[in-house]
């Protein structure tokens, strides 16, 4: 049975506060500006998880951005991933464009790998990956890593700051991890 959010919080640790994440996201914005060197990218948010992070990251980037979003989900409210379901593909033409792909978490990497490949399939010339957090373990899909990363995480299920615990907790202002 699904635990309530209260039960989950009683069985979780706060890993990163909002204040700590604010600092890292501002740093990422500066790094992204330097890398873009004035080029206007498609800022492609992967819904739902990236919603909170993407808004804050966009405000930390000074280069102008063209917004679009995709909706792809592999976990669908559960704590283990399965096959990827596309609910929305990019609308903005990506031919010849640099895409800044924005997601909350790089875990096993299957989601971002599939979305990145889809962007290349639509003609993107370069796809840069920006994630709020990266989970450290040996299960990453081959050939996927973040170009811009906020914080590293232990190998535990996390929620908050856009990430869900059974579709709860996305608006918690920090990253929490379930105890093992």
Ligand X SMILES: Nc1nc2[nH]cnc2c(=O)[nH]1
Could you list the residues that contact ligand PRP (CB under 6 A)? 46, 48-49, 73-75, 81, 103-111, 164
d(CA 106, CA 62): 24
Peptide bond into 39 cis (omega under 30): no
Tokens 């990251």 identify what position?
Answer: 57
Query: Is residue 174 part of the contact set for ligand X (CB under 6 A)?
Result: no
Tokens 């604010």 identify what position?
Answer: 22
Residue 159 interface partner, choices ligand PRP, ligand X, none, CB cut-off 5-8 Å depending on type:
ligand X
Residue 73 interface partner, choices ligand PRP, ligand X, none, CB cut-off 5-8 Å depending on type:
ligand PRP
d(CA 116, CA 124): 9
Stretch that binds ligand X, among 14-22, 59-67, 113-121, 156-164 (CB under 6 A): 156-164
Query: Is residue 157 part of the contact set for ligand X (CB under 6 A)?
Result: yes
CA distances from 140 to 97, 106, 121, 137 (A): 27, 9, 22, 7
Nearest distance from C-beta of residue 151 to ligand PRP, angstroms: 15
Instruction: Tell me which of 57, 107, 113, 130 binds ligand X, using CB under 6 A.
Output: 107
Nearest CB to ligand X, comparing residues 43 and 159: 159
Please tell me the chain's helix, strand, coil percentages from 3-state DSSP, rounded to the nearest 5.
25, 35, 40
Chain residues binding ligand X by CB under 6 A are: 75, 105, 107, 157-159, 163-164
């Amino acid at each position: 049975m699904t635990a309530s959010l209260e039960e989950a919080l009683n069985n979780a640790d706060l890993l990163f506060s909002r204040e700590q994440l604010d600092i890292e996201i501002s740093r990422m914005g500066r790094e992204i500006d330097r890398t873009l060197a004035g080029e206007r990218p498609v800022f492609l948010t992967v819904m739902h998880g990236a919603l909170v992070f993407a808004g804050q990251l966009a405000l930390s980037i000074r280069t102008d951005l063209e917004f679009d979003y995709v909706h792809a989900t592999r976990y669908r409210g559960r704590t283990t991933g399965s096959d990827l379901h596309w609910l929305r593909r990019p609308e903005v033409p990506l031919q010849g464009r640099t895409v800044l792909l924005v997601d909350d978490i790089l875990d096993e990497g299957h989601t971002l790998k599939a979305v990145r490949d889809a962007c290349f399939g639509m003609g993107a010339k370069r796809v840069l990956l920006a994630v709020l957090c990266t989970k450290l373990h040996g299960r990453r899909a081959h050939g996927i890593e973040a170009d811009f990363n906020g914080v590293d995480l232990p190998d535990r299920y996390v929620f908050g700051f856009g990430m869900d615990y059974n579709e709860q907790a996305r608006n918690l202002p920090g990253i929490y991890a379930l105890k093992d």
